[in-house]
Structure 1
């Protein structure tokens, strides 16, 4: 694909020119999984919708990562305005009863922006967004990827009995989805009935269904005040095909098209000034060349990979020293566990892989004693704290938000900024909003 010059960076087709007015009282928050700050800066010309939104609103060039820079900690800090050691979500998996379990909304220790909005009397819809409690929404559709996330966990058998069942329960007591023309949100093909490449296509279709449903609600006769949704396959496709691969470019461009269609729908019904469109990512991405297999290095320990970060359950300082030595033989660096809540901090030892390495499960057919190998993921995240690869993009556009560019901000400023848009008090947040 030929890179255009600066004069052709932005398509005029998707978003009309904005006349700046007071900040709106409604917001659509769209998480686009795994789009790094560097990717957005370098490839913005591929993303006309996001480029226009960023240029006409508040653009944060680098939203700094949480520790670790993985999905659930990134989402939780954005949704709560609190760091992992406070909100309780310090990994995609957290420790409960002596093992790691999948992070979930029920383990959040502080209120999310959804809960704060609902408690203030606002109308909230979560359409396929992770880490949102159904009780905090008037309309709730589970994240389509949640069942796969749960079943893919090595500790799947330790799930509460109702956990998997809840991943398909839609809450819509007034039938507002059907009234908006949304009839089936889980009708995409089952992976077991399709060829190996199809689950990626089915996932992208599921993303499209969720974003379309969010847009349909915003354009309906009864539009919510806050709509939360997300696009997940941008992350999965980068994992499989690699950072800046053609497949990655395509998937992120498709995300831009989905958001463009939503914005165009708002324009058609005259609501482009009613809603702020908030788009951000939960973490960045970067290529890796070697996998480290903790199963071979630490055969007697319980561990969980967070990309290029590793959490290990330890029994006291002596055990921690043993783990330090075993991993140190592979140039793995022991790290602080300050991101873990104080009550669990003594149990969880944290490690980061050397550059270009990530932690993975030992593949089937590989000798159990083999400590390294070719990574299953061509690209990952969760690198050493301070790594710019984990920085992500963030923007607040439309609805009269004044154009401004910030070089950087913390994830904890995200929720109070959404609160500002909604007209909510930000007194409960440690960080200040950005507007």
Structure 2
């Protein structure tokens, strides 16, 4: 996910907070040596409830529970380059299954990938095409009674309440709705748009995403998720964006990133110990996944300045900047805008009209796709325009150096991400060949013993990691 835009963050204060957290890590590790600490007192085996209320036929075990942890911006090689300092993730690997890597989709951005993880569908079908989108109403079609035609022009913007408008989310059912419809309890923590009803249905517990300088509640979110799984819930989902924020601000190769990963590893290790002490290790499956990787935005990356190529009189809106940009033309100005965009060097940026977007991107049939799509190649970065036509309209969008780290590229090794899994449904010590982000949804449903909705996953790509 992108760094926050709503407020200027004191990263000096943030960095000091991070280093304080990490400096306390040695104390936390010492606590791990004791057989039971107060942190686990509420999840002892004696507190377990009867699981007989669970419904749905399972090919694995009717009592299987699933905890999905999405750590935003976790690049595929972050673990291997410092694994000696990451005993929690090492335990996941030795006691469970992990993928060599997970292939991201296009675009390798947060909101589209979160929705793909929760549906198994590509963006052109689930309709969430980016962290920023523009709905432009078309003439009312009385034959289809399309309600979108009656909705005025609306912006979908990463960190404000525009993302909560129901019409963005009406097209497909996400996993928490499916599991809820099956009569099971679902809990989500810090998870974007679990708080928007789908056909009037909400999960039992949902805390929507709220940005914080440092996510200090991740540990509590994990332990609360475990407590709920122990007390009758079938599915818990926890989201964390700290790794992503640090990667954007300091870069993927920074010491700050490495320290942050060590701290998150300690909390994962604490969770694994808590599961063992709860007496639920034979029922709870833990999956840690991510949405994309991260790459450096340094001086070697060539900048493409949109304002040098386009006549802004031809432009209605420019949506996003960086690696993937969409442009809506003013009425009757598409041809003129296309001619201007053709001057952008194709060695660095691929420019597509909507109808010409390649099928392999799984994008062009998206309801909110605009007139033109610009895709930066690795080594290039698109700088947005100044003024109200730019979405988002802030200083970062027209800056040549908004971040130290970026993502969103297509077919780039640094965009690869991770998958770890441990529990009764998964083989022990299994190294799974690479698979795609869209393949994960069917794993979740298999573990829960529920039939998946239609999806784009390939079962043969993932089935060997499961015990049955």
TM range (shorter): 0.7 to 0.9
Q: Could you tell me which of 381, 390, 414 is aligned with 2:440? A: 414
Q: 2:380 maps to which residue?
A: 357
Distance 1:40 1:372, change over 3 A: same
- Give the 3 Å change call, closer, same or farther, for CA 373–232 of structure 1 in structure 2: closer
8 Å contact 2:342–2:351 — kept in the other structure? no
How far apart, in 2, do the equivalents of 1:414 and 1:426 lie? 11
Partner residue of 2:20? none
Are 2:376 and 1:376 aligned?
Answer: no
Q: 1:391 aligns with which of 412, 416, 426?
A: 416
Answer yes or no: is 1:318 the counterpart of 2:335: yes
1:142-181 alpha-carbon deviations (Å, 9 max, x no partner): 1122xxxxxxxxxxxxxxxxxxxxxxxxxxxxxxxxxxxx
Out of 234, 244, 247, the residue aligned to residue 238 of structure 1 is: 247
Q: Give the superposition deviation at 1:206.
A: 3.7
Report the counterpart of residue 72 of structure 1 in structure 2.
Answer: 111
The one-character-per-residue Cα deviations of 1:294-343 (angstroms, maximum 9, x if unpaired) are 46654443122264122222357514523523533894222526533526
Contact 2:309 2:340 in 1 (8 A): no
State the partner residue of 2:272.
263
Alpha-carbon distance change, 255 to 353 in structure 1, aligned in 2, over 3 angstroms: same
Residue aligning to 1:54: 93
Change (3 A) 1:424 1:304: same
Q: Distance in 2 between matches of 1:423 and 1:253?
A: 34
CA distance in 2, matches of 1:343, 1:262: 39
* Distance in 1 (alpha carbons) for counterparts of 2:337 and 2:83: 44
1:141 aligns with 2:207: yes
Query: By how many angstroms is 1:207 displaced?
Result: 3.3
Q: Give distance in 2, aligned partners of 1:248 and 1:209.
A: 22
Which of the residues 143, 156, 165 maps onto 1:101? 156
Superposition deviation, residue 238 in structure 1: 0.7
With over 3 angstroms needed to count, the CA separation of the structure-2 counterparts of 1:340 and 1:314, relative to structure 1, is farther
Q: Alpha-carbon deviation of 1:359?
A: 3.5
SS at match of 2:418: strand
1:254 pairs with 250, 254, 263, which one?
263
Match of 1:163 in 2: none
Greater C-alpha Rg: 2
Specify the alignment match of 2:287 in structure 1: 278
Unmatched 5+ stretches in structure 1? 1-10, 17-21, 146-198
Question: Aligned equivalents of 2:68 and 2:422: distance in 1?
Answer: 11
Please say if residues 99 and 433 of structure 2, whose CA atoms lie closer than 8 Å, have aligned partners that are also in contact: yes
2:384–2:398 contact (8 Å) kept in structure 1? no
1:43/1:324 Cα in 2 relative to 1: closer, same or farther (>3 Å)?
A: farther
CA separation in 1, counterparts of 2:267 and 2:119?
26
Residue of 399, 423, 428 corresponding to 2:454: 428
Which TM-score applies when normalising by structure 1? Answer: 0.73
1:228 and 2:254 matched:
no
Q: TM-score, normalised by structure 2?
A: 0.68
Deviation at 1:394, TM superposition (A): 0.9
Matches within 5 A, 1:179-190: none
RMSD, aligned CA: 3.2
Count of residue pairs the alignment pairs up: 356
Partner of 2:40: none
Q: Distance in 2 between matches of 1:204 and 1:213?
A: 15
Matched, 1:215 2:226: yes
Aligned mates of 2:232, 2:220 — CA distance in 1:
18
Distance between the aligned counterparts of 1:343 and 1:278, measured in 2?
29
Aligned to 2:378, the other structure's residue is in SS state coil
User: C-alpha separation between the residues in 2 aligned to 1:372 and 1:292?
Assistant: 11
In structure 2, C-alpha distance between the alignment counterparts of 1:44 and 1:120, rounded to whole Å: 39
Of the structure 1 ranges 55-64 and 232-241, higher mean CA displacement relative to structure 2 is found in: 55-64
Q: Deviations over 1:219-253 (max 9, x none)?
A: 5xx24100011111110111000112111111222
Matched residue SS, 2:344: helix
Asked if 1:117 corresponds to 2:179, the answer is: yes
Q: Which runs of 5+ in 2 are unaligned?
A: 1-29, 36-59, 137-152, 388-393
**Conserved? CA contact 2:324–2:374, under 8 Å:** yes
Cα distance, 1:313–1:209 mapped onto 2, change above 3 Å: farther
Secondary structure of 1:382's counterpart equals coil
- Distance (whole Å) between structure 2 residues aligned to residue 326 and residue 432 of structure 1: 40
Q: Give the Cα–Cα distance (whole angstroms) in 2 for the partners of residues 346 and 141 of structure 1.
A: 29
